[in-house]
Amino acid sequence: MNTVTDKLANRRNVLRGMIGGAAVTVGLPFLDGFLNSHGTALAATGAALPVCFGTWYQGLGFNVGRWLPDRVGPNFEHNVELKMFDPFKPRMNVISGTKYFMDGRPLETHSSSWQIASTGMLLTGVNSGPSLDSMIADSIGTRTRFRSLEVSLDGSRGSYSNRSGGARNPSEASPAALYARIFGPEFKDPNAADFTPDPMVMARQSVLSAVAEERRSVMGQLGASDRARLDEYFTSVRQIEHQLGLEMQKPSPLPACSMPEKIAETKVGRTVVESETNNKLLAQLMAHALACGQTRVFNVQSGGNGLRKPGSTQTWHSWTHEEPIDPVLGYQVEVTWFINWANTQFATFLHALDGLKEGSGTVLDRTTVLWQTDHGHATTHTMEMLPILMVGNASGRFKTGQHVALLGDPATRVGLTMQQAFGVPIATWGQLSNETSKTVNEILA
Amino acid sequence: MRPTPINFSKVRFALALGLGASLAACTVDAPKSAAVPAVLAGAANVGVPGLEPITRRLTPEQYENVIADVFGPAIILGGRFEPEMRVGGLLAVGSSAVSMTATGMEQYDVMARKIAAQVVDESQRKMMIPCAPAAANAPDDACVAKFMGKVGRLIYRRPLTQTELAAYVTAAHAATEKAGDFHRGLSLSLSAMLSSPKFLFRQETLEPDPRNPGTMRIDAYAKAARLSFFLWNAGPDQALLAAAESGALNTAKGLAGEVDRMLASPRLETGVRAFFTDNFGFDEFALLTKDVVLFPKFSPRVAADAQEQTLKTIVDLLLKNRGDYRDVFTTKKTFMTQELGAVYRVPVINDGPNGAPDAWQPFEFSADDPRGGILTQVAFTSLHSPPGRGSPTLRGKALREVILCQKVPAPPAAVSFNIVQDTHHPIYKTARERLTAHATESMCTGCHKIIDPMGLALENFDGAGAYRTTENGQPINTSGALDGVPFDGAAKLGQVIHDHPATSACLVNRLASYALGQQLPAGDAWLKDSTAFFATNGYRLADLMRRLATSDGFYRLKPPAEAPKAQSASAASAQ
Amino acid sequence: MSVVLTARTHALPFKLAVLATAALTVSVLALPGVAAAETRTFVVGYFGQATHNVQDSECPAGINPDVTVQYLKNLVTLGYSQAEIDKMVNQSADNEGGSVNEIMRMRGRVNGQPTNPYAYPASVTDPKLNAMTGGKYAYGFDLDGKGAESPKAFEDPETHQAGVDNEMARAFGCSRAFRGSVNARSAYWSWAWAQLKDSQPAWVITITGADLAKDGDVTVTFDRALHYLKSNIDGTPRADTTYRIDPDPRSHNVLPGRLKDGVIQITEHGSFRMLQNPMVVNDFKLTNTHMRLNLKPDGTLDGILGGYQLWADIYSGFAHSAPAMEVCITGDIPGLYYLLKRHADAQPDPKTGENSAISTSYTLMAVPAFVVSPDGKLAGGG
pLDDT digits (tens, 9 = 90+) for C349-360: 999 999 999 999
Same domain? B475 vs B326: yes
- Distance in angstroms (rounded) separating the CA atoms of residues B309 and B382: 13
Same domain? C148 vs C186: yes
Same domain? C248 vs C286: yes
Same domain? B341 vs B458: yes
Domain count, chain C: 2
Same domain? C197 vs C101: no
Listed by number, the residues of chain A in 307-346 with a beta carbon closer than 8 Å to a beta carbon of chain B are none
Residue B153 belongs to a domain: yes
**What integer pLDDT is reported at residue C346 of this predicted model?**
96
Residue C183 belongs to a domain: yes
**What integer pLDDT is reported at residue C266 of this predicted model?**
97
Q: Say yes or no to pLDDT of B88 above 80.
A: yes
**Interval B2-23 mean pLDDT:** 39
**Interval A309-329 mean pLDDT:** 79
Q: Which residue has the higher pLDDT, C266 or B407?
A: C266
Last residue of some domain: C101, C123, C145? C123
Is B103 near chain A, with CB under 8 Å? yes
- To the nearest whole Å, the CA of B387 is away from the closest chain C CA by 15
Same domain? C200 vs C184: yes
- pLDDT, tens digit, 9 for 90 and up, residues C15-45: 333 333 333 444 343 344 444 589 999 999 9
- To the nearest whole Å, the CA of B244 is away from the closest chain C CA by 45
Q: Say yes or no to pLDDT of B325 above 60.
A: yes
- pLDDT, tens digit, 9 for 90 and up, residues A253-268: 888 898 888 889 998 8
- To the nearest whole Å, the CA of A435 is away from the closest chain B CA by 11
- The boundaries of the domain holding residue B80 are 56-202
Same domain? B368 vs B485: yes
- To the nearest whole Å, the CA of A434 is away from the closest chain C CA by 13
Residues 6 or more apart in contact with residue A337 via CB below 8 angstroms: none
At A387, the pLDDT band (50, 70, 90 cuts) reads very high
Residue C31 belongs to a domain: no
Q: Which residue has the higher pLDDT, B116 or C186?
A: B116
Question: Phi, psi at residue B485, to the nearest 5°?
Answer: -100, 120
Looking at the partner chain, which of B53, B81, B178 has a beta carbon nearest the beta carbon of A223? Answer: B53
Residue B401 belongs to a domain: yes
Q: Which residues of A touch C190 (CB under 8 A)?
A: 379-380
Contact partners of B by the rule of 3+ C-beta pairs under 8 A?
A, C
Neighbours of A73 (CB within 10 A): 12
- Distance in angstroms (rounded) separating the CA atoms of residues B423 and B205: 56
Q: Say yes or no to pLDDT of A46 above 90.
A: no
Q: Say yes or no to pLDDT of B358 above 80.
A: no
Same domain? B404 vs B304: yes
- Distance in angstroms (rounded) separating the CA atoms of residues B484 and C249: 61
- pLDDT, tens digit, 9 for 90 and up, residues C296-346: 999 999 999 999 999 999 999 888 878 777 766 667 899 999 999 999 999
Same domain? C203 vs C313: yes
**What integer pLDDT is reported at residue C215 of this predicted model?**
96
Domains of chain A: 4-30+197-248 (no CATH), 52-192+255-443 (3.40.720)
Q: Say yes or no to pLDDT of A37 above 90.
A: no
Instruction: Provide the b/e sequence for B375-402 (b: ≥16 CB within 10 Å).
Output: bbbbbbbbbbbeeebbbbbbbbbbbbbb
Looking at the partner chain, which of A99, A310, A382 has a beta carbon nearest the beta carbon of C93? Answer: A310
**What integer pLDDT is reported at residue A47 of this predicted model?**
57
Residue B121 belongs to a domain: yes
**What integer pLDDT is reported at residue C44 of this predicted model?**
97
Indicate yes or no: CB of B174 within 8 angstroms of CB of A426: no
Same domain? C241 vs C349: yes
Residue B177 contacts residue B185 (beta carbons within 8 Å): yes
Is B531 near chain A, with CB under 8 Å? no
Mutate to test the interface with C, among B338, B460, B468 (most CBs of C within 10 A): B338
Same domain? C198 vs C289: yes
pTM of the entire predicted model: 0.80
Distances (CA, A) of A32 to A5, A36, A37, B58, B193: 12, 12, 15, 29, 21
Residues 6 or more apart in contact with residue A262 via CB below 8 angstroms: A179, A183
- The boundaries of the domain holding residue C237 are 40-61+129-372
- pLDDT, tens digit, 9 for 90 and up, residues B501-548: 999 999 999 999 999 998 887 788 999 999 999 999 999 999 999 999
Is A25 near chain B, with CB under 8 Å? no
Residue B529 belongs to a domain: no
Q: Say yes or no to pLDDT of A247 above 50.
A: yes
Residues 6 or more apart in contact with residue C79 via CB below 8 angstroms: none
Same domain? C99 vs C206: no
Residue A214 contacts residue B163 (beta carbons within 8 Å): yes
Mutate to test the interface with A, among B55, B141, B168, B184 (most CBs of A within 10 A): B55
Which of these ranges, B383-387, B458-462, B531-535, C67-71, has the smallest mean pLDDT? C67-71
Q: Which residues of A touch B571 (CB under 8 A)?
A: 23, 213-214, 216-217, 220
**What integer pLDDT is reported at residue A9 of this predicted model?**
34
Is A229 near chain B, with CB under 8 Å? yes
Q: Say yes or no to pLDDT of C217 above 70.
A: yes
- Distance in angstroms (rounded) separating the CA atoms of residues B429 and B425: 6
Residue C239 belongs to a domain: yes
**What integer pLDDT is reported at residue B510 of this predicted model?**
95
- Distance in angstroms (rounded) separating the CA atoms of residues A397 and A399: 7
Nearest to B482 by CA among B493, B466, B491: B493
Could you tell me how many CB contacts below 8 A there are between chain B and chain C? Answer: 103
Residue C34 belongs to a domain: no
Mutate to test the interface with B, among C9, C19, C198, C224 (most CBs of B within 10 A): C19
**Interval A26-32 mean pLDDT:** 27
Nearest to A303 by CA among A352, A338, A277: A338
Residue C312 belongs to a domain: yes
Same domain? C109 vs C144: no
Is B461 near chain C, with CB under 8 Å? no
Looking at the partner chain, which of B349, B354, B369 has a beta carbon nearest the beta carbon of C13? Answer: B349
Same domain? C218 vs C75: no
- Distance in angstroms (rounded) separating the CA atoms of residues B445 and B125: 67
Residue C284 belongs to a domain: yes
| Residues in A lying within 8 Å of C, measured between beta carbons | 99, 102, 104-107, 109, 155, 267, 269-271, 306, 308, 310-315, 317-318, 321-325, 327, 379-385, 407-408
Angle at A46 between CA A41 and CA A49, to 5 degrees: 130
Residue B255 belongs to a domain: no
Listed by number, the residues of chain C in 167-206 with a beta carbon closer than 8 Å to a beta carbon of chain B are 199, 201
Domain count, chain B: 2
Is B185 near chain A, with CB under 8 Å? yes
Same domain? B340 vs B472: yes
Contact partners of A by the rule of 3+ C-beta pairs under 8 A?
B, C
Q: Say yes or no to pLDDT of A433 above 90.
A: no
**What integer pLDDT is reported at residue B454 of this predicted model?**
82
Q: Say yes or no to pLDDT of A376 above 70.
A: yes
Same domain? C202 vs C243: yes
Same domain? B198 vs B316: no
Q: Is the dihedral of CA C139, C142, C144, C147 positive or negative?
A: positive
**What integer pLDDT is reported at residue C381 of this predicted model?**
61
- To the nearest whole Å, the CA of A234 is away from the closest chain C CA by 45
At B352, the pLDDT band (50, 70, 90 cuts) reads low
Q: Which residues of A touch C184 (CB under 8 A)?
A: 325, 327
- To the nearest whole Å, the CA of A41 is away from the closest chain C CA by 50
Same domain? B409 vs B305: yes
Same domain? B307 vs B182: no
Same domain? C149 vs C54: yes
| Percent of chain B clearing pLDDT 90 (strictly above) | 53
Q: Say yes or no to pLDDT of B414 above 80.
A: no
At A304, the pLDDT band (50, 70, 90 cuts) reads confident
Q: Which residue has the higher pLDDT, C23 or C236?
A: C236
- pLDDT, tens digit, 9 for 90 and up, residues C117-152: 999 999 999 999 999 999 899 999 999 999 888 878
Q: Which residue has the higher pLDDT, B437 or B387?
A: B387
Q: Which residues of A touch C331 (CB under 8 A)?
A: 322
Q: Say yes or no to pLDDT of B355 above 60.
A: no
Q: Which residues pair with C254 in a beta bridge?
A: C221
Last residue of some domain: B481, B496, B511? B496
**Interval B146-173 mean pLDDT:** 96
User: Residue B299's Cα: distance from chain center in Å?
Assistant: 25
Mean pLDDT, chain C, rounded, equals 85
Mutate to test the interface with A, among C226, C328, C330 (most CBs of A within 10 A): C328
Nearest to A202 by CA among A31, A393, A56: A31
At A308, the pLDDT band (50, 70, 90 cuts) reads confident
Last residue of some domain: B154, B169, B202? B202
Last residue of some domain: B458, B479, B496? B496
Same domain? B186 vs B333: no
**What integer pLDDT is reported at residue C330 of this predicted model?**
63
Task: Provide the greatest CA pair distance for chain B.
Answer: 85
- pLDDT, tens digit, 9 for 90 and up, residues A139-186: 898 888 899 999 999 888 888 888 776 677 889 999 999 999 999 888
**Interval C250-261 mean pLDDT:** 96
Instruction: Provide the b/e sequence for A159-170 (b: ≥16 CB within 10 Å).
Output: bbbbbeebeebe
Mean pLDDT, chain A, rounded, equals 82
**What integer pLDDT is reported at residue B44 of this predicted model?**
29
| Residue of chain A whose Cα is closest to the Cα of C97 | A313
Residue B261 belongs to a domain: no
Which of these ranges, A104-108, A215-219, B511-515, has the smallest mean pLDDT? A104-108
- Distance in angstroms (rounded) separating the CA atoms of residues A164 and B109: 24
Residue C159 belongs to a domain: yes
- pLDDT, tens digit, 9 for 90 and up, residues B489-513: 899 999 999 999 999 999 999 999 9
Polymer length in residues for chain C: 382
At A225, the pLDDT band (50, 70, 90 cuts) reads confident
Nearest to B145 by CA among B172, B176, B124: B172
At B37, the pLDDT band (50, 70, 90 cuts) reads very low
Looking at the partner chain, which of B99, B110, B290 has a beta carbon nearest the beta carbon of A233? Answer: B99
